[in-house]
Structure 1
Amino acid sequence: MTQFPSPYFAAIDLGSNSFHMLVVRMQDARIEIVDREKEMVQIARGLDKENNLSEEAQERALACLHRFSERLRGIPQEQIRAVGTKTLRAARNSRRFLRLAEEALGTPIQIISGYEEARLVYIGLSQAVVNEHDQRLVIDIGGGSTEFIIGKGHNTLCMESLGMGCVAFTAAFKLDPDKLSAKAMNAATLAACGKLELIRSQYLAQGWEVTYGTSGTMRAVAELLGATDGGAVITRSSLEDYVQKAIANKQLDAPGITKLRRDVLPAGLAILRAIFEQLQLEKIHVADATLKEGLIYDNIGRFNNQDSRVHAVKLLQDKYRIDKDHATRVSETALHLWRQIDNAPILIGLSRTKILDWAAKLHEIGLSISHSSHHNHGYYILRHSDLGGFSRHEQYMMANLVRSHRKKILASRFEDMDSAALAAFYPLLFCLRISALVHRRRETVAILPELRVKKENFVLKLSDTWLDQHPLTRAGLEQEVHQLKKIDIQLSFD
């Protein structure tokens, strides 16, 4: 069994409605929950029309993260995963907020795609239920988005994230639990039906045998319908009866539900009505496991050679018919150079070695589209694809390495990186560019190049005999001297 630096793992989910923290302990190959915390920060309420996050919402979030940080002390950084979802994906000023949030929490925070959000939700659910042989539909209604996953066992078959959530819909349709109207509820339900049209046919064709709901909204609704449905399921008939009574009374009767949850519950009910209608459901089972549990299991997998990112890279290599032997050669040489660079600046929250390895293995991903501009096509594929396990920042760094691994270096392409990120990125780019050049003939190099680095001076040592036998590579390396000057790297040869 893998020995971990600490028996404790933690997951933090910066959701659009609630922030969650989960701390677990590995005990005899079993996971034991030792602490959990939730605060309904509702940062989605802080987004204005221009998608800027308000100062008030940021202050609520930072105060919550500061409180969470106390519980994380003593847990190794690599055993903590913190992610942001829909609202932080959308916020135009999220970069500044993330710097403050990471400082308050004391650990890096990754912004993940809706696809990755769905994948993690399913991982959490698949570890918590026992009917592994049933094909199941999993639904997670969040504050800013709702995820839909069809899977069987631990494998997913369909994953989608739709831009409808209880906080966002509350604001959009002015839903008030104390002034409930049929007009507002029906408008919200109709809008949700419109969103679901995007996936309805595909999901119904795929089919499922059992449906699970995993969100706080699902649990709150199940609790309210407990007298008729027992508290562990939500039936379509009970849901509709409850909604119609609430509309008739112009008020939501929700005893035992906190005020913050009650405020956004009408929107959750409207979305849930649409889900039942469009996906032709009669019953949803409510489960406890959600994204944060998925984060825990996914992180443990990375320690046990079950990194979902490795699987995603292999899938891309197969899909785009990448020459794997050549990709491996380029990766090995790039990593050989990288290991000779001491004290390179770090990339917070990223493994530079892994990012370089994966970028090298995918550097020709665009060749199946076009040879002359395959580096640009590769950038687009890696930047915009849904890649399991990868954060948006990891994809961004990997995509930029691939785009700039050949031809001219354009510093303007890196304007989204701050000075610290650039200082960490440039040595990685150097290693990939030199490796791609050295392997231009797509053959194994008998003697790998040696490297000495002193500040901005990179001295590359190659065999004179080998260079004489490879005049095209020599010419390429001489041109590389001029390209690398653009990023303040002074390349010379010994």
Structure 2
Amino acid sequence: MRHEQIAKSITEAEALVGREELIGSIDLGSNSFHLAIARLDHGEVRKVASISEKVQLAAGLDENNVLSGEAMQRGLNCLHRFAQHVTEVNPSLLRIVATNALRKAVNAQEFIRRANRLLPRPIEVIAGREEARLIYLGVSHSNASTDKRLVIDIGGGSTEFIIGQGFEPLEMESLQMGCVSFTKKFFADGKITETAFDNAMKTTETELLSIAKRYKRVGWDNVIASSGTAKATLLVLQELGLADEFITIEGMMKLKHQLIKIGKVNKINFEGVKAHRQAVFPAGVAELYAIMQTLGIKQLGYSDGALREGVMYDMLGRSGDEDVRDRSIAAMAERYSVNIKQANRVMTTCARLFESSKDKLDFDDEDRDLLRRAANLHEIGLAIGHSNYQKHSAYLLEFSDIAGFSQAGQAMMAQIALHHRRKLKADALETVENLGGRKLLYLCLILRLAVQANQSRTTKAAPISLKIVKKDHWQVSVGEGLHAELIGTQLNADVVQFAKWGVVLEVA
């Protein structure tokens, strides 16, 4: 995203949002939960409140990635407190994102359902590369520069690596290593030994093998880290007289020996290491030191801006005219050679059906955008094969890395695309409703009607109209135009399919 686009977007968002209105973000990290509340001030996000609490969700994952009841309760207690701080934030200007621990937890939905009862907005679980994109957005706005930079963010369960220039990320990766998971693996007994330290570093080096050559080939001018581990490390190095504004490889070597000399986690007594970070500090230092060694980094700086700031700037882009989700959809359409004319015909019909039904079906702007984006890409599966291409479309929508979307957002688009043709299955109804309630079901059916109306792939086809008698009783009529009889026949064939999902369809 170019600087002028960002600036224009934020200016527009400022006009829409209002300078006096608060915006907020909550980051459910694997180690800590973070809350940030800010105001818009001449295009800049100015934080007015920032709270972090150690929750250590990742520490509550067992060998089968089941999140313990105790870890869940720690998280819920924290979110209960956070909810009291965001009462003055308009829910439409609040985003809540969750990262690696809830990506991995097999029972994440149990926690999310309970947490959503406490919060004014639903939690969005974001993929690793989306987390990386948002981190870079936060760093690039907090530390403006035209240099090509490598950004490193060591979290509790994953570590993100981004090379970018200006506001545009060029390379993004999320690796499965972090200070909480490494603490469980290498420092669980609370002892800081050379063996434990070296094993943590070797594991880091192994994980980096997948990206090291590519990242070195792309290159960077400078390096910046944006995590609690980096902040604590810099503060301790300054306390020991081993750093000024940069973390150096020489300082890291000396800090390693200092920690081994201390010997036990509970004896760490640096002012720069808060009590809640004490247990995970050695693991974080080992990982950061190994990253610097493996990538040949002599020194790196620290950025206070990271994921939660990136979430807010991304939200402002959505309020203006620079919604990264639309750029992502356009890029996918191009990549998979979507027939743009047909997609536009289907989207136009969807938009008309949506407008005629939105009041009766309680749709909002987010529902409109979800339907539009799914309609745009409902045929991308044709790039793989024609037979049952709706399944290919659904797979690509759910499992691709699509910038700007949460995992749930992609899954909902996938369900809409999956059910636009062929028989509707009664057992799929539960999946759809669990994911997005009856509204998602209605969006699936609207796309289905729009596709049926455009089977002839011409703008001269007879138009259809939709009347909602009541939520589960629909009337669709066919106007004058080409293939009116054929369209009517196809719609009548769908009466049985709609009934499987509890919706009465009458065709006039």
Structure 2 counterpart of 1:324, one-letter code? I
Deviations 1:332-355 (A, max 9, x none): 1112111222332569xx921111
One-letter code aligned to 1:374: Y
Q: Is the 8 Å Cα contact of residues 127 and 406 (structure 2) preserved in structure 1? A: yes
Aligned to 2:252: 239
Q: Which residue of 2 aligns with 1:202?
A: 214
Report 1:68-467 matches (<5 A): 68-132=82-146, 134-175=147-188, 179-226=191-238, 227-251=240-264, 253-256=268-271, 257-341=273-357, 342-344=359-361, 351-418=366-433, 421-445=436-460, 448-455=463-470, 456-463=472-479, 465-466=480-481
The answer to whether residue 30 in structure 2 is matched with residue 16 in structure 1 is yes
Could you tell me which amino acid in structure 2 is paired with residue 439 of structure 1? N
How far apart are residue 129 of structure 1 and its match? 1.5
Tell me which amino acid in the other structure corresponds to 1:104: L
Q: What TM-score results when the alignment is normalised by the length of structure 1?
A: 0.95
Supply the distance in 2 between the matched residues of 1:298 and 1:445 (Cα, whole angstroms).
40
Query: Which residue does 2:9 correspond to in 1?
Result: none
The whole-number CA distance in structure 2 between the counterparts of 1:110 and 1:387 is 14
1:98 aligned partner, one-letter code:
I
Moved more, 205-214 or 402-411: 402-411
Q: CA deviation at 1:472?
A: 3.5
Work out whether residues 137 and 313 of structure 2, in 8 Å CA contact, stay in contact via their aligned partners in 1.
yes
Aligned-partner residue type, residue 344 of structure 1: L
What SS class does the counterpart of residue 45 from structure 1 fall into? helix
Q: How far is the alpha carbon of 1:145 from its aligned partner?
A: 0.4
Does structure 1 conserve the Cα–Cα contact (< 8 Å) formed by 2:462 and 2:484? Answer: no
Letter in 2 for 1:198: S
**Does structure 1 retain, via aligned residues, the 8 Å contact 2:492–2:507?**
no
Change beyond 3 A, Cα 1:286–1:99: same
CA contact (8 A) 2:22 2:88 kept: no
The aligned amino acid for 2:203 is: A
Identity of aligned residues (%): 35
Alpha-carbon offset, residue 300 of structure 1: 0.6
1:47-66 to 2 correspondence within 5 Å?
Answer: 47-66=61-80
The offset of 1:278, in angstroms, is 1.6
- Kindly tell me: are residues 290 and 420 of structure 1, through their superposed partners in 2, closer, same or farther at Cα, counting changes over 3 Å? closer
Name the CA shift for 1:482/1:401 in 2 (closer, same or farther; >3 Å): same
Pairing partner for 1:28 from 42, 45, 52: 42
Instruction: Write the letter of the residue equivalent to 1:318.
Output: E
Residue type of the partner of 1:221?
Answer: T
| Contact 1:214–1:288 (8 Å) recurs in 2 | yes
Amino acid across the alignment from 2:415 = N
Structure 1 residues 419, 312: closer, same or farther in 2, change over 3 A?
A: closer
**Counterpart secondary structure, 2:356:** coil
Q: Partners in 2 of 1:18 and 1:420 — Cα distance?
A: 27
User: Would the aligned equivalents of 2:248 and 2:299 in 1 still touch at CA under 8 Å?
Assistant: yes
Provide, for residues 15-37 of structure 1, a one-character-per-residue CA deviation record: whole Å limited to 9, x for no partner: 01111111111133332211111
Q: Which blocks of at least 5 consecutive residues in structure 2 are unaligned?
A: 1-11
RMSD: 1.9
How far has the Cα of 1:174 moved from its partner? 2.9
Aligned length: 488
Point out where structure 1 has 5 or more consecutive residues left out of the alignment. none
Q: Decide which moves more: 162-171 or 419-428.
A: 419-428
TM-score (norm 2): 0.92
Q: Is the Cα contact below 8 Å between 2:460 and 2:481 reproduced in 1?
A: no
Letter matched to residue 182 of structure 1: E
Q: What is the CA-CA distance between 1:105 and the residue it aligns to?
A: 2.7
Question: Is the 8 Å Cα contact of residues 7 and 27 (structure 1) preserved in structure 2?
Answer: no
